[in-house]
A and B are shown apart, each in its own frame.
Chain A
Amino acid sequence: MTAVLDPHLIPLRSARRIQLSELTKRDRVVRGFLLVAAIIPTAALAFLAYQMLKSAYPAIVFNGWHFFTSKSFDLGNQYGSGVEVHDGYKAPAGAHYGILSLLFGTLVSSLIALLLAVPVSVAGAILLVEKLPRFLQSTLGVFLELLAGIPSVIYGLWGVYTLGPLFSRTVYKWIAALHIPWLRGPTGAGEGLLSASIVLAIMIIPIIASITRELVRGVPAISKEGAVALGLTPSETVRTVTLPYIRSGVIAAAILGWARALGETIAVLIISGNALGVYPKSIFDAFTTMAATIAALLDSALTDTTHMATAALAEVGLVLLAFTLITNFAGRLVARRFSDAGLPVGRGV
């Protein structure tokens, strides 16, 4: 599988200049078609952004800043009488929307997933490229692609029926016995923050590992030969040559994995325990995320005749999207700052 590298890291200036001669008529026509295709994602994005804002607007007005300072998320009493009115928008009696518990769940689960996935992916990928014979490498490459494509609903069900029960009786109990704050408590039946984070980690490992694999393959032979000539052991070579070289690429890969973890819906829905409006008191407790909440509550929200519930979920979606973008671009900046070790020796020749 080809690495999904950041195009910015691959300079093309010199090559492009060669071809900036005039375009023939056929070239212009082809370019026209291709341009239409290239504009479509932008048009789709504009459409999506517009629809999201339009759907969320009533909730944005109704909730105001309380959305970001409150942790309870309550759809209100649709069968009760009475309707709340605030700033001209109606909502069911008792409705109150706050995103803090969702934000907390999303962030913590994705963070733990990343912390688990990155070391495992990098170590595994390095082992794969540096130690294993060629034919095993391509078999295991297929394996990684397989892992990447397993439907998330299968991951979720496997998590809740296989991983959860197994771990809650063994690994979790060992962790709880260490009596570290927040890492102790009833280990439950397997649904909860730690189980969901582990499943998320397993889901994002293929992404990070396959990109890392390509990056490791791309380390120039010259540098490695130099290390060997200096008498470094293979692991020292990895530590001094390979790791710095791939560092920014790994960060870029981690960002892709992070984005996937943030937006993962179905697997989290099945294994999280769906505890709305509370912070998990321990790592084994139930929780919920922004994406899972949208999926879980959408059907009920649609029966809300004031339409405030669907607007609130749209607002949750907006925050999720904003979050994904911010961390995406922040991470990209971090990656660029670390890309000093990237000598393009051996690339493109």
Chain B
Amino acid sequence: MAMQPAVNARVSRRRRLKDWAFWAAGGVAFILIVAPAISIIVSVVHQALPALGWSLFTQRTNGIGLQNAILGSLLLLAGVAIIAGSIGISAGVYLAEFATGRSEKVLRFFSEVLAGMPSIVIGYIAYVSLVVSFKWGYSLLAALIALSVLITPYIIKTTEVALRQLPTTLREGAAGLGMSRTSTLGRVLIPAALPAIMSGFTVALAISTGELAPLLFTAGFTDQNPNLKFFHQQVPYLTNVIYTDLSLPGKRAHATAAAAGMLSLVILIILIIIARIIAGFSRRRTARMTV
């Protein structure tokens, strides 16, 4: 809560000026944060206008639409949610609740090292090992693995922090009732930490929708709609369309690429709103739970 008593009349002029200057600086900083975001959104939407229409959803990229790219991005999103979500949340729970002593430190250390991997390095290694060496070719699985490796450490960290930030009274209460670890987790801790866990999870997913470097060398691209074939089947996705726009001729292609950018932003906004709704539900539940 903001703590803003009125600045007392006895406060010297100099201090009041400093106060004013401080908040002005904050205001400037604020504008510096907001202005680029608005500029980006406005310019993307403006450039996408000529291409907006139903054809974006009914035609594929071999025509003037984005149907295959949209489906591909959603497919990748779902796949990453399942893979990175299950591994990340499970690992986060383990590190927060079960790990002890040395193994805890070691596992967490390596998870953080993984978090520092640049995305292009992950993409390159996935190409060299999965696509070429294992002979999977440009494939759905290679793309999913590359993306999951990228965002799983983030999910682990946010899950762990979410659990650690829970009030100790919750655990004390459960212990007092003689609940097993699993019951405590399932009935008390995870529901209480769910807003924070979901929030971190959704942000991680949001980051994955905007990624390009890990996918460039693993997913390939195709004009056809994606299917569930895990190997030897290239996967289309929206950020690729934006990027390769530069290599495609024509004004229409440029507008379509901007539309792909706009749709990426739309998916992003939807994910953010979903996260906030979940956070809202769980917060109300927790409020009822906490003593």
Contacts and interface: CB of A to CB of B under 8 A. Distances in A.
Check whether chain A touches chain B (CB < 8 angstroms).
yes
Nearest to B257: A157
Interface SS majority for chain B: helix
Contacts of A161: 43
Interface stretch (B49-57, B59-67, B161-169, B218-226): B161-169
A123 B27 CA distance: 8
A331 B242 CA distance: 35
B256 interface: no
Contact of A151 (B11, B22, B200, B261): B261
A145 B272 contact: yes
Nearest to A48: B125
A307 B16 CA distance: 67
Interface stretch (A12-20, A68-76, A86-94, A333-341): A12-20
B117 interface: yes
Interface string B136-152: 00000000000001001
Contacts of B287: none
A324 B3 contact: no
Contact of B171 (A18, A131, A132): A18
A2 B44 contact: no
**A: contact size bracket:** 35 or more
Given A18-B171, A143-B34, A225 B3 contact: yes
B171 A15 contact: yes
B118 A265 contact: yes
Contacts of B212: 151-153, 266
A154 B149 contact: no
Interface string B1-17: 11111011011000110
Contacts of A238: 22
B213 A266 contact: yes
Contacts of B286: none
Contacts of A259: 115-116
B122 interface: yes
Given A41-B152, A151-B239, A324-B116, A228 B210 contact: no
A234 B87 contact: no
Nearest to A256: B115
Among A18, A40, A128, A147, chain B packs the most CB atoms within 10 A around the CB of A40
B131 to A, nearest CB: 11
A320 interface: yes
Given A124-B33, A151-B261, A324-B116, A131 B4 contact: yes
B207 interface: yes
Nearest to B20: A235
A29 B88 CA distance: 18
A155 interface: yes
Given A228-B3, A265-B120, A146 B269 contact: yes
A146 B37 contact: yes
Interface of B: 1-5, 7-8, 10-11, 15-16, 18-19, 22-23, 25-30, 32-34, 36-37, 39-40, 43-44, 86-88, 90-91, 93-96, 98-99, 106-108, 110-122, 124-125, 128-129, 149, 152-154, 156-158, 160-162, 164-169, 171-172, 174-175, 180-182, 184-185, 195-196, 199-200, 203, 206-207, 209-213, 216-217, 239, 242-243, 261, 264-265, 268-269, 271-273, 276
Given A4-B157, A15-B171, 20 more contacts: A19-B174, A23-B181, A26-B180, A30-B185, A31-B94, A41-B107, A42-B111, A47-B129, A131-B4, A146-B37, A146-B272, A149-B203, A152-B213, A153-B239, A162-B39, A209-B33, A233-B15, A291-B118, A310-B128, A324-B117
21 contacts: A4-B200, A7-B157, A18-B168, A26-B182, A27-B180, A41-B110, A42-B111, A48-B121, A119-B29, A126-B26, A127-B23, A147-B33, A153-B243, A162-B43, A224-B3, A235-B19, A235-B22, A265-B213, A266-B212, A291-B120, A295-B213
Interface of A: 1-5, 7, 10, 12, 14-15, 18-19, 21, 23-24, 26-27, 30-31, 33-42, 44-45, 47-48, 51-52, 55, 119-124, 126-132, 138, 140, 142-155, 157-158, 161-163, 202, 205, 209, 221, 224-225, 228, 231, 233-238, 259, 262-263, 265-266, 291, 294-295, 298, 310, 313-314, 317, 320-321, 324-325, 328, 347-349
